[in-house]
Structure 1
């Protein structure tokens, strides 16, 4: 997600972002297996206290005040998860191959730094909030060193959300194969939180549904880009008229238009 944000802000070109993602993914897959991750529905502070001093287990992400991801060595994490589950906390194992965002990534970080050392980074064109620091991103965001830290440090998403709120952000749209972060974000008054894709629906339906939700909450959507030939139409003023107004043709095609069907 943060790589995508770097592209949107002009820090990385799409080509360099792909190179960064491929380099990171390829190196991580070369690591020995055995690392695990589990989501825990419990206060972040209590979880941190629980694992303090324990070897082989770390907080890999804090997605919300009561949504934490633990990661590390299999036995160490399993012991903590067992205790938390017995105490009534909802825990769920994540389908991952390694313990990302933990010191278990250390063996590949030097190679990762070398692999992305020649990428071109530019100053951000829009404000960005770092999930490494949980604060407004600085100049270090556009450097190879930042992305090395990003691979091993915990994801401070909850902190980043609060900083973004302080900056005036009120619209949250999650782009991914399944709602994850938006699912644990409580929607505050005056905010809209939506996801664009779900596993149980095709991508086109998911994106359009997400955009429609933003639209009805007052967010400007450039519908002309989705239905280029569409124009405004008069819609029925009475429910019993039962006329439907659909976009005819495929979304994004030049054949798209709005028409009424009796």
Structure 2
């Protein structure tokens, strides 16, 4: 709400593109307006980061390519979703067929309401979140949103910038495993077998003082 109030004076030149969490918001729009807004925030000591991208998604600028986008996806026929999808555009569960050309236009034009989507699925009882991306940028916003309502949850990334290999992915899976999320390790450890832990001498000695009993006045 604070960011929307600040960009209101820019009219259609700027828009809130995504609300990723209580303290994580993305703004997009005309380059000159973005530069002006960034300078304004920097002067007010507001933390910001420029996203290196050359198009203003989730802003009024998308309206200029509506016809072009409709033509590009006209031959796409959506089918039933194999994985349940909660839309950050419509803020509801989708079965799949609803995701036609009009949906993808609205998905590109409207703001990404990730925070509200996380609140909704958390209210449904979901407590494990994995960000599947080349680098975790949404994880902090997800954690902030869940902390807002004091909801215990597991939130992990998958890969990281400059660490997009198999080892990093398995580390993410291990982070889920040690936090109680069931993991099927067979695909990663094909041909492996369980073995007993190695035995070792275990000497136990108590160092706590032993309590004494006796009479006292």
CA apart distance, 1:209: 0.4
Q: CA deviation at 1:238?
A: 5.5
Partner of 1:106: 63
Provide the secondary structure at the position in 2 that maps to 1:208: helix
Moved more, 124-133 or 105-114: 124-133
Aligned counterparts of 1:65 and 1:239: Cα–Cα separation in 2: 52
Judge conservation of contact 1:177–1:197 (CA < 8 Å) in 2. Answer: yes
* Residue 66 of structure 1, aligned match among 8, 23, 27: 23
Secondary structure (helix, strand or coil) at the match of 1:118 reads coil
Runs of 5+ consecutive residues of structure 1 not aligned to the other structure: 1-44, 241-262
Gaps of 5+ in 2: 203-217
Moved more, 72-81 or 56-65: 72-81
2-side partners of 1:127 and 1:82: how far apart? 41
4+ residue segments displaced more than 4 Å: 237-240
Matched residue, 1:46: 2
Larger radius of gyration: 2
1: CA distance, partners of 2:114 / 2:56: 17
SS of 1:91's equivalent?
coil
For normalisation by structure 1, the TM-score amounts to 0.68
**d(CA) in 2 for partners of 1:138, 1:51:** 35
2:206 matched residue in structure 1: none
Structure 1 partner of 2:138: 181
Greater strand share, structure number: 1
Shift of 1:53: 3.7
How many corresponding residue pairs? Answer: 196
RMSD (CA atoms): 2.2
Tell me by how many angstroms 1:185 deviates: 2.5
Answer whether contact 1:135 1:159 (CA < 8 A) is retained.
Answer: no
- Partner-residue secondary structure (3-state), 1:193: strand
Larger deviation, residues 194-203 vs 204-213 = 194-203
Classify the secondary structure of the residue corresponding to 1:141. Answer: coil
Equivalent in the alignment of 1:79 = 36
Match of 2:168 among 206, 218, 229: 206
Distance in 1 separating the partners of 2:97 and 2:110: 15
Determine the C-alpha separation between the residues in 2 that align with 1:212 and 1:81.
39
**In structure 2, which of residues 53, 56, 71 is the aligned counterpart of residue 96 of structure 1?**
53
Q: Within 1, Cα distance between the matches of 2:70 and 2:201?
A: 61
**Distance change (3 Å), C-alpha of 1:230 and 1:85:** same
Aligned to 2:127: 170
